[in-house]
Chain A
Amino acid sequence: MFVAVLAPLALGLEALFSMVPSLFLLLGLVSLVSIYLPERAHYWVIPLIYVPALFSLYMLVAERQPGPLIELASGYLLSIPFLAVLAMARSTAPRPMITNYVSALAAALMLWLLVHQAAASRTELFLVLINMIIGRGIGGGENVPQAYAVIAAVSTLALLLLLYRYQSEGVSQEFARPFIYALSAASLATGLLVTYSLFFADSSALALLVSAFLTISLVVYLGVSERWRG
């Protein structure tokens, strides 16, 4: 499990440690993550969420100090990849595991980019996000180190193996074959796409085309053939 969540966790932690810590930032991070605490701790979780939120709102309205609210919002942003990782760790079914994994990875990556942009421009994390949303872009930021690509590949493989281990307890080797075939095909296709991207710039378009073709093939093979041919 640890290997499966390594990529989003590593990206998220690096983003977290790149931030200058402050009280409201930490409160924002901890309050959302604490939702996953056991039920008996919910007496503490509710004030932990509402008190900083109400206080920072009071500071904005009464004292005209937006700082606490912006820091709290940055804390909330920082917690997103960890929330997705926790949700993934708690699930065993394929759909929640895979979607939570992709969400965690995407959120961690976005956070990493935002944090490094914030550090470069010396602005708050939340303000960088607002700038990005209103169209000013993240331009000029750092590229994600290549090491994370390797970690993500290992994590993805670990995720699939973990998923198979959860779901196929006691299943004979006969049904391990589709799993191995699919892993091999996916690895081959990804390798070919990477090779293609070395020579051509439109690799994402190719990836989209292949994905669309596979989705349509799946629907036709399973849906139409089953219903029309009996």
Chain B
Amino acid sequence: MLTKEGALLVISIASWMLLISILIFQPFLLLTVFFLHVFLAFYVIASHKLLKRVRPEDLVLERSIEMVRGGGDIFLRVGLTVAMTRETRLYAEASDDIPRGVVPEGRLEPARGWIGGDARIRQEYSLRVPAHAGLVRFATASVRIHDPLRLTYRVLRLPAAGDVAIPLGEETVASLYTQLSSVSRPPLGMGVRSMIGYDDEFAGVKQYDEADKMRDIHWLRYAQQVEEDYPVAKKYRKRGEVSFHIVVDCSPSINLGKERRLVEDIATLVRQVYLSADEEGNPVHLWLVNPLLTLEEKALYRKTASRVVMERYISRITPAPGRDDGRVAEFFARRVGRGSVVLVVVNPPSQNLRVVERMIRACPAAGASCIVVMPDLSSYLSDGELDRRLLAIDRAYKESWLRGVDSVDMVLELRRGEVYVAAERVLRRR
């Protein structure tokens, strides 16, 4: 592209050319301006062709970020340094692409100067970070390289990824803990009823008769009655077969704690839930989000499955690098049905979050309820590894992720040594 100076120069010379040829025709003046015009046109085209030979790999970007607190706000002081690996010196302008959700402090001036050889330029600026931003994600930076006369330029948009985790304030952390620890409970009057062995839905109350089970008596409503003295029983409506789907995200983020303690706990949780549900006659389907497995290995979808098969499935719950292709989510969306209960075990951040999100979002569409189990990071790290900032960041990320997936019916935290408690809560809550 032409720079502003270059464009103005072209306009100026062209205007002079017209003026001289029409109003003050003088041959050698006309020739002088003609010479300058031809020079300008050829110079710009040839320089631009040369600029096109500069590859993005020739430029080196380094970003330094310093976090500063001031006046109750968090600021990031960012320094972007641009250098060139080639010996060629070029005039350049560098400007960092501001991440979403943050506000630059003051006017954002690009860095200008020569790069190449030992020469480098540096852009320094400050960003104000909103209180609730858990993560500031830098993606790219723009570098404009110019010809020596600065009449033309080329823009190179270079990847310069970098994430900055923002520690949360005390109030936010407290509210986050409250949100994560609170679980959805059934409204008063519906009672808490084991899912196992039942596939009915609460539909109201009726007068108790001998055919009803004792545990179906609605004691609270009975106690509230003043005039009638007969017991009241809960009335249920047939909902169809309740299937249990267990989804485990096998991303490297589950590799947590000493001797892979979290993986062990997840395996125990899956085993416990599977055995309990299977014992009551509810079909259990197991799903793994693991990029190293084939689709057949990821999805254990059978009406009945032996314990050997279940153990084989559990043995595949290992942290796997890479990103899952997502086909398992499509398969899952076709299989999950109305009234099913889906248990998702995931530890965000994970490379497979998109796949997991698709599986979660498939639940309300199919009429299934979804329970998400996430590990409590603090219980899996030993004292030496405990870092309050890290924990706060982890919670902030989990909170923001949960806000994004609004189709979750219940969230449970998995703590070290409390696997059976978690399994019991999963089984007793819908």
Q: Which residue of A lies closest to B21 (CB)?
A: A204
Residues of B in contact, count (CB < 8 Å): 55
In this assembly, does B13 line the interface, its C-beta being within 8 Å of a C-beta of chain A? yes
Cβ contacts under 8 Å, A164 to chain B: 148-149
Contact of B21 with A208 in the complex, beta carbons under 8 Å: yes
B145 smallest CB distance to A (angstroms): 11
Known contacts being A94-B149, A178-B47, is A186 close to B89, with CB within 8 Å?
Answer: no
A14 smallest CB distance to B (angstroms): 15
Known contacts being A109-B29, A204-B25, A218-B44, is A211 close to B149, with CB within 8 Å?
Answer: no
Bound-complex Cα distance A41 to B291 (A): 80
Cβ contacts under 8 Å, A156 to chain B: 32, 35-36
**Binary contact track A173-191/B, C-beta < 8 Å → 1, others 0:** 0110111011101110110
Q: Which residue of B lies closest to A204 (CB)?
A: B21
Contact of B42 with A186 in the complex, beta carbons under 8 Å: yes
In this assembly, does B181 line the interface, its C-beta being within 8 Å of a C-beta of chain A? no
B34 smallest CB distance to A (angstroms): 5
**Binary contact track B32-52/A, C-beta < 8 Å → 1, others 0:** 111111111111111111100
Bound-complex Cα distance A152 to B27 (A): 11
Q: Of the candidates B13, B41, B119, which one forms a contact with A98 in the assembled complex, judged by CB atoms under 8 Å apart?
A: B13
A222 smallest CB distance to B (angstroms): 5
Cβ contacts under 8 Å, A160 to chain B: 36, 39
In this assembly, does A93 line the interface, its C-beta being within 8 Å of a C-beta of chain B? yes
In this assembly, does B87 line the interface, its C-beta being within 8 Å of a C-beta of chain A? yes
Interface residues of A in 183-230 (CB under 8 A from B): 183, 185-187, 189-190, 193-194, 197, 204-205, 207-208, 210-212, 214-215, 217-218, 221-223, 226
Contact of B30 with A186 in the complex, beta carbons under 8 Å: no
Bound-complex Cα distance A74 to B340 (A): 99
**Binary contact track B18-29/A, C-beta < 8 Å → 1, others 0:** 101100111111
Which of B3-11, B159-167, B203-211, B264-272 is found at the contact surface with chain A? B3-11
Cβ contacts under 8 Å, A197 to chain B: 27
Q: Which residue of B lies closest to A197 (CB)?
A: B27
What size tier do the contact residues of chain A reach?
35 or more
Q: Of the candidates A171, A178, A194, which one forms a contact with B43 in the assembled complex, judged by CB atoms under 8 Å apart?
A: A178
**Binary contact track A116-139/B, C-beta < 8 Å → 1, others 0:** 000000000000000000000000
In this assembly, does B301 line the interface, its C-beta being within 8 Å of a C-beta of chain A? no
Bound-complex Cα distance A223 to B3 (A): 11
In this assembly, does A58 line the interface, its C-beta being within 8 Å of a C-beta of chain B? no
Q: Of the candidates A105, A152, A183, which one forms a contact with B39 in the assembled complex, judged by CB atoms under 8 Å apart?
A: A183
Contact of B149 with A168 in the complex, beta carbons under 8 Å: yes
Bound-complex Cα distance A185 to B148 (A): 19
Contact of A177 with B114 in the complex, beta carbons under 8 Å: no
Known contacts being A93-B5, A168-B149, A178-B147, is A210 close to B89, with CB within 8 Å?
Answer: no
In this assembly, does B133 line the interface, its C-beta being within 8 Å of a C-beta of chain A? no
Bound-complex Cα distance A177 to B9 (A): 21
Interface residues of A in 48-84 (CB under 8 A from B): none
Interface residues of B in 394-414 (CB under 8 A from A): none
Bound-complex Cα distance A190 to B372 (A): 78
Q: Which residue of B lies closest to A185 (CB)?
A: B42
Contact of A172 with B87 in the complex, beta carbons under 8 Å: yes
Contact of A172 with B88 in the complex, beta carbons under 8 Å: yes
Residues on B lying within 8 angstroms of A by beta carbon are 1-2, 5, 8-10, 12-14, 16-18, 20-21, 24-50, 87-90, 114, 116-117, 119, 147-152
Minimum-distance CB pairs A-B, first 8: A178-B46, A182-B43, A168-B148, A186-B39, A214-B41, A182-B42, A149-B28, A186-B38
Instruction: Offer 14 A-B interface pairs, CB within 8 angstroms, sorted by A.
Output: A144-B26, A149-B31, A163-B149, A167-B148, A168-B149, A182-B41, A185-B38, A189-B38, A190-B31, A204-B25, A207-B17, A211-B14, A221-B48, A223-B1
